[in-house]
């Protein structure tokens, strides 16, 4: 089983990395790291500028509690494109190409495989908290 990686811990002042799960034209699913550039923007007067990415259009945001004992969700597709941010615990994903990745809390995942073979997700036995952001 691979070690968990916190993609949030890899962020720098110039970029942030996220995991993307997607389906190709044949319906096979894959994972890849994608990066977003962070640009300085003065937000608070008399303070250093914050580093912001481009705005991601979204239509809603929900907290989600994965219940205790829900260890594995078999092959599935999200009902729409989502950005998921894992707030607690580790999560493991497997795609149809055999790629398996384990992420620690703080990691962001773009679930874009709304068609195709989908992916498997594995969760800690104690449950976990995450945020679903519906992308437009």
88-92 LR contacts (CB < 8 Å, sep 24+):
88/128, 88/129, 88/130, 89/123, 89/124, 89/126, 89/127, 89/128, 89/129, 90/4, 90/124, 91/121, 91/122, 91/123, 91/128, 91/130, 92/1, 92/2, 92/121, 92/122
What is the pLDDT, as a whole number, of residue 57? 96
Q: Mean pLDDT in runs of 10 for the chain (136 residues)?
A: 86 96 98 97 96 96 96 97 96 98 96 98 96 97
What is the pLDDT, as a whole number, of residue 53? 97
7-135 carries CATH number 2.60.120.10: yes
Indicate the domain borders of the chain. 7-135
Please check whether residue 60 is in contact with residue 80, taking contact to mean a CB–CB distance below 8 angstroms: no
What is the pLDDT, as a whole number, of residue 3? 87
């Amino acid at each position: 089983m691979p070690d968990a990686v916190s993609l949030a811990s890899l962020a720098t002042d110039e970029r942030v990395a996220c995991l993307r799960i997607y389906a190709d034209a044949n319906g096979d699913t894959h994972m890849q790291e994608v990066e977003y550039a962070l640009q300085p923007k003065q937000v608070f007067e008399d303070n250093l500028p914050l580093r912001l990415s481009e705005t991601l259009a979204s239509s809603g945001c929900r907290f989600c509690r994965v219940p205790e004992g829900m260890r594995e969700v078999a092959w599935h597709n999200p009902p729409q494109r989502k950005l998921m941010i894992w707030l607690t615990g580790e999560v493991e994903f497997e795609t149809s190409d055999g790629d398996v990745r384990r992420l620690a809390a703080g990691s962001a995942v773009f679930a874009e495989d709304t068609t195709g073979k989908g992916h498997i997700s594995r969760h800690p036995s104690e449950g976990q908290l995450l945020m679903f952001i519906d992308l437009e």
